[in-house]
Amino acid sequence: MEEPIIKTANVTKTYRISAGAFKGNRSLRAVNGVSISVKRGSVLGLVGESGCGKSTMAKMILRIEEISSGEIYIDGKAVSSLPRRQIARRVQPIFQDPYSSLNPRKNIASIITLPLRALKTGSPSEWDAKVDEIMKVVGLAPRLKFNYPNQLSGGQRQRVAVARALIMHPALVLCDEPTSALDVSVQSQILNLLIDLRKEFGLTYILISHNLAVVQHMASRVAVMYLGRIVEEADSQMIFRNPLHPYTQALLKSVLTPDPHQGLPETHLGIAYPNPIDPPSGCPFHPRCPKADDRCTREVPQASVKDDHLVECHYPESAA
């Protein structure tokens, strides 16, 4: 079997947070034993509500955050043993908000070449040619080269962010909510661009998003996160056609597709997302689960895999 481009083994991130004056610190498990692997050339969609740990996961892959325990392997090499610059050659991020992820005091050319300068790749004359080339690839007019981010529209800014991520020709691009700050018509432009670039450069994406319609459109495999755990993971088609975890089912039900003949769905999810400092006993999803019983409050469910479809639930069941 081909080596996965990125593999995480039981990755955990624990933050120490103050519980108040004169009290000891408490620990918050943002990511709790996540094992995923992404095949070269595929797109992994990572979905979940805010606070579920999906962005923390991204930060650990980029090593912006240190891993508390477990290990991430990029091309078979452990991330903790690699210097940050080495990681940056293989993995590049695209962030959510192009209004805050671009330095307002640098012009477009210098924003795009930053990875080259930081990693001391090539000479300034080569950089210039590379900028022209990559700007063409992502669909930015050459005249914008010496403009500043505030002169650009949201869609153009996100194209700059894409250009910056691709200039090192990374193998893996981490897209953290790449379109959620954009308008609908611009969102589709950026998604189309990402689809084209993947084909052209054979890229692998990890797409973090709360928009399930976008994830279904882009991803080949989907992992659903809840309170720092992957609760369900399967091929995109399989998970959307036959979700087994009640949380995934509720998530899918709450997607509002444009359909004038349907009303608003009832999700039975309760009001509150649990506080990750005090995670519920047993199955972390049980306080919001319509199927929960005694066993769910006591026992933590173990992952079971069937037909390459992972689910962490005591009573996995098709909704139909």
Partner 1 sequence: MKTVLEVENLYVNLPLPAGMLHAVGNVSFHVNQGETISLVGESGCGKSMTALAVMNLLPRRGVRTADVFSFEGRNLKNACDSEMADIRGNKMAMIFQEPMTSLDPCYTIGNQLEEAYLQHRKAGRREARDRAVFLLEKVGITATDNRMKQYPHQLSGGLRQRVMIAMGLMCGPSLIIADEPTTALDVTIQAQILRLLVSLQKEFKMGLILITHDLGVVSRMADRLAVMYCGEVVETGTREEVFERPLHPYTRGLMACIPIPGKTKPGEKLGSIAGIVPTPIGELTGCSFRNRCPYAMPECTTTANELKEIAPGRAYRCLLSPESCTEKWKQA
Q: Is 273 among the residues that bind partner 1 (CB under 8 A)? A: yes
The rounded distance, in Å, linking the Cα atoms of 192 and 199 is 11
Q: In the structure encoding, which two tokens stand for residue 149, read together? A: 């981010």
| Rg of the chain, C-alpha, whole Å | 21
Question: Is residue 318 near partner 1 by the rule CB under 8 A?
Answer: no
Site string for partner 1, 28-57 (x = CB under 8 A): ---------------------xx-------
Cα distances (angstroms) measured from residue 55 to each of 58, 141, 197, 222: 5, 32, 23, 15
The residue within the footprint of partner 1, chosen from 64, 256, 277, 305 (CB under 8 A), is: 256
Of residues 2, 142, 259, 302, which one binds partner 1 by CB under 8 A?
A: 259
Which amino acid is located at 155 in the chain? G
Calpha distance 71→89 (Å, rounded) = 19
Task: Give the pair of three-digit tokens for residue 59.
Answer: 């930060």
183 binds partner 1 (CB under 8 A): yes
The residue (of 1 and 272) whose beta carbon lies closer to partner 1 is 272
The stretch among 22-30, 55-63, 89-97, 232-240 that binds partner 1 (CB under 8 A) is 232-240
Tell me: does residue 261 bind partner 1 (CB under 8 A): yes
The answer to whether 222 contacts partner 1 (rule: CB under 8 A) is no
Strand duo 221-226 + 229-235: pairing = antiparallel
Contact by Cβ (8 Å): 211, 181: no
| 131 vs 167: CA distance, rounded Å | 8
278 binds partner 1 (CB under 8 A): no
Which of 1, 83, 124, 271: binder of partner 1 (CB under 8 A)?
271
Return the DSSP state at 316: -
| Binding interface with partner 1 (CB under 8 A) | 49-50, 153, 155-156, 183-189, 191-192, 195, 210-214, 216-219, 236-237, 240, 250-251, 253-267, 269, 271-273
